[in-house]
Amino acid sequence: MKVILLRYGEIHLKGNNRRFFENALLKNIKSTLNGETFKLQHISGRYLITDYDEKREYAIIQKLVCVFGLHSISPAVVVENEPELILAECKKISVTGKFRVTTRRASKIFPIKSMQFSAMAGEVILDNCPNAVVDLHEPDTVINIDIRENGYTYISTQTIPCAGGMPVGTAGKGLLLLSGGIDSPVAGYFMAKRGMTIHALHFHSFPYTSELAKQKVITLAKLLSKYTGAIKLSFVSFTQVQEAINRNCDRDYMITIMRRIMMRISERLSKDVGAGAIITGESLGQVASQTLESITSTSAVTSMPIFRPLIGFDKLDIIDIARKIGTMETSILPYEDCCTVFLPKNPVTKPRLDRVEREESKLDIDKLVNDAYDTLETIDISPEY
Ligand code: ATP
Ligand code: MG
């Protein structure tokens, strides 16, 4: 019988935490595989997917490599703990190049010791694979024979690395400020990787920004949801805020004030949806609004924690990750973002808080925040495969 073995890290798991972690992981695996037929079993420190459609094996694995909390996956064959049965399966294995066999014998009633059994299995494989050689130190392929106490042996020839991290749902909820750019989806990815449930928020400036720009954000959220699971995506119109700042304030302070108003609206939404932190894609020094002084003046309007997982990353490193997680292509589609509308020529890079506050006093901030919040709409996003 074919099965898929799922391994998860056990390092940080103690006492009751372990149960909490496992339950969240189990729930996430099930919802990721929603629509597939399968059974899920728990065997010490691992999950086992059985009774699935073998034609769907690749698709199932593709989905599971994105589930945070899983460390690696191996498609495997399972037989009873009988030496002849195991060796018969080894006969079917085809390898080329350097390989080794690693036997783990959790069941001590199995009559042959691990090392000896690995050698026996190696011989059987060599007999059938003329282009294979044993290399214990630098093998290209490791064949794992896992002889378990439950009476079954799992034989696998492939270990596929997964996303790692902690299961989503184990570290509270974060409100991700999702622009259409490269950075914010990556920021959301990292916080979800630490177990945060994500609620995304996008500010648009319709009609200055287009319907296509909105679609782009929806696409980004869908790509991200392969990792985060189903999420909510909210939209708030920022048009009136921008027009008001444009009319009333020194244009060089436009971005600083915009970002402070974004934070106030974000705090409001966070309270309403139970988010305990705001997440942004900011990276120190990347643009005028991301200097230490700008970040300080943005943070000053809220007492909520603001998580900026990319703060110390180079742009090129962020781009690499965006490519790896599959958001890059969408992020670089050329639609206007609300921040590029009314962009000042010389944004201040070191806004002074007293100056910012003076400029802001020309606005009815509470009304702007309330009116913007009234435009809130929220949609459900789930992954598309
Ligand atoms: P990104 O690549 O994520 O767009 P950026 O390098 O363009 O980031 P900024 O435009 O200064 O930088 O935005 C910094 C952060 O502010 C973004 O990473 C995002 O978290 C948030 N943000 C910016 N614009 C929006 C928006 N229209 N809606 C929601 N969040 C936004
Ligand atoms: Mg941007």
Q: pLDDT per residue over 111-139, tens digit each?
A: 999 999 999 999 999 999 999 999 999 99
Judged against a pLDDT cut of 90, whether residue 340 lies above it is answered with no
How many Cβ atoms from other residues are within 10 Å of residue 334's Cβ?
Answer: 8
Nearest to 187 by CA among 353, 38, 327: 327
pLDDT in tens, 263-315: 999 999 999 999 999 999 999 987 777 899 999 999 999 999 999 999 999 99
Residue 382 is classified by DSSP as -
**Residue 385 contacts residue 59 (beta carbons within 8 Å):** yes
Q: What pLDDT is recorded for position 257?
A: 95
pLDDT, residue 335, reads 77
Strands 70-80 and 160-161: antiparallel
Nearest CA to ligand 1 atom 16: 280
Confidence of residue 14 (pLDDT cuts 50, 70, 90): low
- Ligand 1 centroid to residue 179 C-alpha, Å: 5
Q: Measured in angstroms, how far is the CA atom of residue 155 from the centroid of ligand 2?
A: 48
Q: What is the pLDDT of residue 11?
A: 57
Count of C-beta atoms within a 10 Å radius of residue 132: 20
Q: How confident is the model at residue 339 (pLDDT cuts 50, 70, 90)?
A: low
Mean pLDDT of the chain: 94
Q: Which of 176, 178, 179 to mutate to test the pocket of ligand 1 (most atoms within 8 A of CB)?
A: 179
Provide the CATH number for the domain formed by 2-161 in this structure.
3.30.2130.30
Terminal Cα-to-Cα distance of the chain (whole angstroms): 27
- Concatenated DSSP letters for 116-179? HHHHHHHHHHHHH-TTEEE-SSS-SEEEEEEE-TTSEEEEES--EE---S--TTSS-EEEEE--
Mean pLDDT of 32-47: 91
Q: Is the pLDDT of residue 157 over 80?
A: yes
The residue nearest atom 31 of ligand 1, judged by CA position, is 179
Task: Give the distance (Å) from ligand 1 centre to CA of residue 30.
Answer: 33
Which pLDDT score is estimated for 351? 86
Q: What percent of the chain clears pLDDT 90, i.e. is strictly above it?
A: 84
pLDDT at site 135: 96
Cα of 348 vs its chain's centroid, Å: 34
The ligand that comes nearest to the alpha carbon of residue 241 is 1
pLDDT band at 347 (very low <50, low <70, confident <90, very high): confident
User: CATH number of the domain at 173-381, out of 3.40.50.10420, 3.40.630.10, 3.65.10.10, 3.40.50.620?
Assistant: 3.40.50.620
Q: At 4, which amino acid appears?
A: I
Q: What is the DSSP letter of 41?
A: E
Inform me whether the pLDDT recorded for 338 exceeds 70.
no
pLDDT of residue 336: 73
In percent, how much of the chain has pLDDT > 70? Answer: 98
Output the CA 133–ligand 1 centroid distance in Å: 53
Kindly report, residue by residue over 70-95, the tens digit of the pLDDT: 999 999 999 999 999 999 999 999 99
The residue among 191, 200, 98 whose CA lies nearest residue 140 is 98
- State whether the beta carbon of 175 lies less than 6 angstroms from ligand 1: no
Q: What is the per-residue pLDDT across 90-113, written as a single tens digit (0 to 9) for each?
A: 999 999 999 999 999 988 899 999
Amino acid sitting at position 6: L
Tell me where in the chain the CATH 3.30.2130.30 domain(s) lie.
2-161
- In the chain, CATH 3.40.50.620 sits at 173-381
